[in-house]
Amino acid sequence: MSEPVHSPGTDPGAAAAVAGIETVACIGAGVIGGGWVAYFLARGYRVRAWDPAPDAHTKLRRTIDAAWPALTELGLAPGADPDALEMAPTAADAVDGAGFVQESAPEDLDLKRALLAELAAATGDDVVVASSTSGYPMSDMATAAADPSRLVVGHPFNPPYLIPLVEVVGGRDTAPWAVSRAAAFYRHVGKSVIEMDRELPGFIANRLQEAIWREALHMVAQGEATVEQIDLSITDGPGLRWPVHGPCLTFHLAGGEGGMGHMLDHFGPSLKSPWTRLEAPELTGRLRDDMVAGAHASAGGRDMATLVAERDRAIIAVTRAVAAAREAGHA
């Protein structure tokens, strides 16, 4: 499960290959699939959607209409048209002529297996089929496909029309070019892409998010904190730092001038404390050094004073932005 399946990297051929795509097929039009439809329309694509629910078109229209003001505010691509949408009677019809396929069906492994096999069979040799799955490895989902080489995970975050992150990873039988092409396409449409070199249950962000969520459930179950206290502890606490610096860079700053190295050498023993129900790994010399090197890479050449100033500016601006967004709802 943690064997590398693909060496990520920017592939100029992949970038060229995605530039000509004009139509995207969206399979499944619920909260996530509908969000993808709105996003692709805003980026100027024609979208062909399929969803077996009888009221799918009505709901999808509502999703697009609700998202459009935000997308307009962010800036539409030239020619972007909220009506450049066609509902297809079948999944095969939806992907016919599409240059990229985004599958966002319910999280049901058997359903995903059958659907991805159908989509792989109905698409051309150069069309990538990406799944929005929030946790299944493609190696488990691709088992029914005659040709699994073009099946890729392209995992978005809710709402897909606003959160930039997409996690891209192939399965055991995915061709490296398909992973590169999916990553290139998402970058081309303005997404922030993490190209993973190996499959990992929950990918990266969901593993981190799920660790918080499980600790929160334990705390409520044990009467240690209320839901409101948990939410407030994040929104008014570390949550204000995370949009600008991730958890590792945040701890790099906590180390003062000594950065991550000082932090680990100094606060390393707190890893033994029962501060969460998650057991920590042993802080080996190798892990320490990897974290220090990683923090410097994450800092990308910004020195500590620059990072601190950036953090402070961002916290003030984020605090104000959130207050204004809450206030607007009461107006």
| Interface with a copy of itself in residues 148-207 (CB under 8 A) | 157-159, 162-165, 167, 192, 194, 196, 198, 200-207
Residue 138 near residue 123, CB atoms below 8 Å: no
Question: Considering only 76-84, 87-95, 96-104, 216-224, which stretch makes contact with a copy of itself by CB under 8 A?
Answer: 216-224
What x/- string results for residues 32 through 61 when contact with a copy of itself is judged by CB under 8 A?
Answer: ------------------------------
Cβ closest to a copy of itself, residue 114 vs residue 205: 205
Cβ closest to a copy of itself, residue 2 vs residue 83: 2
CA dist., res. 94 & res. 114, Å (int): 16
Region 101-130 residues binding a copy of itself, contact defined as CB under 8 A: 107
Q: Is 79 in the site for a copy of itself (CB under 8 A)?
A: no
Residue 104 near residue 27, CB atoms below 8 Å: yes
What x/- string results for residues 261 through 300 when contact with a copy of itself is judged by CB under 8 A?
Answer: ------x--xx-xxxxxxxxxxxx--x--xx-xxx-xx--
Residue 155 near residue 132, CB atoms below 8 Å: yes
Instruction: Figure out which of the listed residues 73, 83, 110, 125 binds a copy of itself, where binding follows CB under 8 A.
Output: 73
Instruction: Figure out which of the listed residues 54, 112, 245, 285 binds a copy of itself, where binding follows CB under 8 A.
Output: 245
Q: Is 322 in the site for a copy of itself (CB under 8 A)?
A: yes
184 forms beta bridges with none
Count of residues engaged in binding a copy of itself, rule: CB under 8 A: 122
Residue 88 near residue 26, CB atoms below 8 Å: no
Instruction: Figure out which of the listed residues 225, 261, 265, 304 binds a copy of itself, where binding follows CB under 8 A.
Output: 225
